Amino acid sequence: MSKITEEDYVEGYMCKTDFDYELDNACGGNVIYPSLNNLQQHKKCWSSCGVVKVKVYLEEVVVEENYDFSEQ
């Protein structure tokens, strides 16, 4: 894999508690918000839990998309 550049990832925001304790354990996953303002509007615990900025990049396509819904 080539070196990851700034164009290869997306930045987002998460509840710090979710990041610290739930990211690799939560059944159903965690939410990464597109902006700090969006997180503050939808995650009411942000002022007590804290907030982290994360970077997400595509490592591998595991299953290709298939928009032929008649086969599902």
pLDDT tens for 12-63 read 999 999 999 998 888 999 999 999 999 999 999 999 999 999 999 888 888 9
Residue 42 resides in a domain = yes
In this structure, is the dihedral angle defined by the CA atoms of residues 39, 41, 47 and 49, taken in order, positive or negative? negative
Residue 71 resides in a domain: no
With respect to residue 47, please indicate whether it lies within any of the assigned structural domains: yes
Give the number of domains in the chain: 1
**pTM exceeds cut of 0.85:** no
Range of the domain at 14: 8-57
pLDDT reported for residue 61 = 86
- The answer on pLDDT for 71 being more than 70 is no
Residue 32 belongs to a domain: yes
With contact defined as beta carbons under 8 Å apart, do 35 and 13 qualify? Answer: yes
- Quick check: is 62 in a domain? no
pLDDT at 8 over 90: no
* 68 in any annotated domain: no
Question: Is 64 a member of any domain?
Answer: no
